[in-house]
Amino acid sequence: MSGNGNAAATAEENSPKMRVIRVGTRKSQLARIQTDSVVATLKALYPGLQFEIIAMSTTGDKILDTALSKIGEKSLFTKELEHALEKNEVDLVVHSLKDLPTVLPPGFTIGAICKRENPHDAVVFHPKFVGKTLETLPEKSVVGTSSLRRAAQLQRKFSHLEFRSIRGNLNTRLRKLDEQQEFSAIILATAGLQRMGWHNRVGQILHPEECMYAVGQGALGVEVRAKDQDILDLVGVLHDPETLLRCIAERAFLRHLEGGCSVPVAVHTAMKDGQLYLTGGVWSLDGSDSIQDTMQATIHVPAQHEDGPEDDPQLVGITARNIPRGPQLAAQNLGISLANLLLSKGAKNILDVARQLNDAH
């Protein structure tokens, strides 16, 4: 018996080892679910590879007593993960795309944008207000949101409500809503609630006329080292062409406006009959002042193709060599054109004031 065991062990030692791809993620339950879904897809595509998930805490996970917009750090949920990428401790990192700044640190790129889930915001109500909508909540009800974008738009629309900051991961925020009497409802991303399997908590989905969403919301981005061609090829097949083009337009819009967490900027995109429609808006912090507009461009969603390397393949931090370049550039130009239109109508002044007020409080 022992002889057979030794022979098996020797055979195992001599067999070629499976390559291990290390995947970085935040520690929250939602981040793990999102990462697990990307890894499951990669495992199905590459059965000859092993995947190891490495979870870590980020600055944004640790600072829970301050509104995100006040921390003044662009890479709140990404910095520690990027350090691990830089030090070659992980090969790729899965993020919520809306957490990734439109300008990435040198040496990094978004190598894949996965198919987007519902990008809209959802309202989750305190148990005693189930069946209500924001419109029918009692006067002076307090609604929790960690987002200036949501608060600015909703204050304008629902002036009978009060909006207060609420921080923490999804589990923490739902617990605060259910167990404390402070909030009548909270606003969360529909995609996150759906990924967690909490469909039954969605009391109302907000349409673009009520609240446009954050740039990249509902999509997952896979960040890699920009020069790691092996890993870029590996993850590139995850690109969803329509999601990619919509998110390039959204990110180009935000980047050209120089927006971020500390100012209310929101978007809505749609692809229809070869047209990409982009609606974007900026708001003052209290929602009283706003500028919005819509533009469209003719863009046919391409199939993936095998393409040779480009000199500088990145557009708004994204590398997609297996998607034709023309539609990507058209999407980027649409975002820049809409940003220029809003700037010509006075968007810079609204954003500057919002930034100053946010910094002062």
Per the document, the length of the chain is 361
> Do 179 and 283 fall into the same domain?
no
C-alpha dihedral (133, 136, 139, 145), degrees to nearest 10: 10
Asked which of 170, 205, 240 is the last residue of a domain, the reply is 205
Confidence of residue 66 (pLDDT cuts 50, 70, 90): very low
Specify whether 28 is located in the same domain as 153.
no
Residue at which a domain ends, from 205, 227, 249: 205
Higher pLDDT, 76 or 18: 18
Residues 348 and 225 in one domain: yes
Q: What is the biggest distance separating any 2 CA atoms in the chain, rounded to whole angstroms?
A: 83
What is the Cα–Cα distance from 190 to 187, expressed in whole angstroms? 9
| The token pair that represents 14 in the structure block | 């001599």
CATH of residue 262: 3.30.160.40
Does one domain contain both 228 and 316?
Answer: yes
Q: How confident is the model at residue 260 (pLDDT cuts 50, 70, 90)?
A: low
Number of domains in the chain: 2
pLDDT of residue 307: 52
Q: Same structural domain for residues 225 and 330?
A: yes
286 is catalytic: no
Neighbour tally for 189: CB within 10 Å: 24
Are 112 and 174 found together in one domain? no
* Claim to verify: residue 156 and residue 95 sit in the same structural domain: no
Domain membership flag for residue 7: no
Looking at every residue in the chain, the average pLDDT score rounds to 88
pLDDT, tens digit (0-9, with 9 covering 90-100), for 189-236 = 999 999 999 999 999 999 999 999 999 999 999 999 999 999 999 999
Tokens of 126: 């305190």
In this structure, what CATH number is given to the domain that contains residue 160? 3.40.190.10
Catalytic residue among 36, 65, 91, 99: 99
For residue 97, what is the DSSP state? G
Asked, for residue 6, whether it belongs to a domain, the answer is no
Strand bridging mode 162-164 / 290-298: unpaired
Q: How far apart are CA 261 and CA 63, in angstroms?
A: 15
* pTM as predicted: 0.89
Instruction: Say how far apart CA 95 and CA 76 lie, in whole Å.
Output: 12
Is 4 within a domain? no
pLDDT at 217: 98
Give mean pLDDT, residues 175-187: 95
Q: Quick check: 341 pLDDT over 50?
A: yes
- Beta strands at 92-96 and 108-113: parallel, antiparallel or unpaired: unpaired
pLDDT digits (tens, 9 = 90+) for 17-31: 689 999 999 888 999
Q: Do residues 162 and 277 share a domain?
A: no
Question: Is the pLDDT reported for residue 3 higher than 80?
Answer: no
Region of residue 96 (left: phi > 0; alpha: psi -120 to 50; beta: else) = beta
Residue 15 lies in a domain: no
Query: Same structural domain for residues 167 and 126?
Result: yes
pLDDT exceeding 70 applies to what percent of the chain? 86
Per-residue pLDDT, 168: 83
pLDDT-based confidence at 258, cuts 50/70/90? confident
Question: What is the pLDDT at residue 301?
Answer: 80
Residues 107 and 248 in one domain: yes
User: 129 and 48 in one domain?
Assistant: no
- Backbone phi and psi for residue 93, each to the nearest 5 degrees, phi listed first: -135, 135
Whether 314 maps to a domain, the answer reads: yes
CB-CB neighbours of 162 under 10 Å? 16
Residue 3 included in any domain: no
Which among 161, 184, 205 is the end of a domain? 205
Q: For residue 128, is it within any domain?
A: yes
| Structural domain harbouring 160 | 121-205
Average pLDDT over residues 101-112: 94
68 part of a folded domain:
yes
Instruction: Verify that 348 and 281 share a domain, yes or no.
Output: yes
